[in-house]
Structure 1
Amino acid sequence: MIIHSIVPVDFLTEQPVLPVCTLKQFKGGMVEGIKTEQGFVINRIISTDPSIYLNPKYAPGQIFTE
């Protein structure tokens, strides 16, 4: 396959290194996030309880503590 682009081929074929996401359970659901030096940073919430989504403690970007 021929690619006609003004972008260098290395840029098109290069795969970015993504951090490993992990899941942690808590009462009411699970959070997906990334472990950093500051702690476990929340990416998303997985829950069937709508009130969990309104709790700022579980907002994306927050540090998760059990």
Structure 2
Amino acid sequence: MEVLEGEICRLTKELQTKEQQSKEVTEEYTELADRFIVVEQMAVSRQEVFATMHREGQVFAQQAEDICEQ
């Protein structure tokens, strides 16, 4: 009987350890996912800024060309 109680105690501790490890891995995964989302949003914002700069540059170039033609 003592052997079974010892085994139950050992398995219970092992289960608690595994649960804690699982919790830590889940937290790390969530943190990485959050970072990925932020970086992805930054990349999209950067593309939008470059697209805006390109459009504004084209408008400026056209305005300069129009002025030169006058």
TM-score range for the pair, normalised by the shorter chain length = under 0.3
Q: TM-score, normalised by structure 2?
A: 0.20
> Greater share of strand residues, 1 or 2?
1
> Greater share of helix residues, 1 or 2?
2
Q: TM-score, normalised by structure 1?
A: 0.21
Q: Which has the higher contact order (CA 8 A, sep 6+)?
A: 1
Larger-gyration structure (1/2)? 2
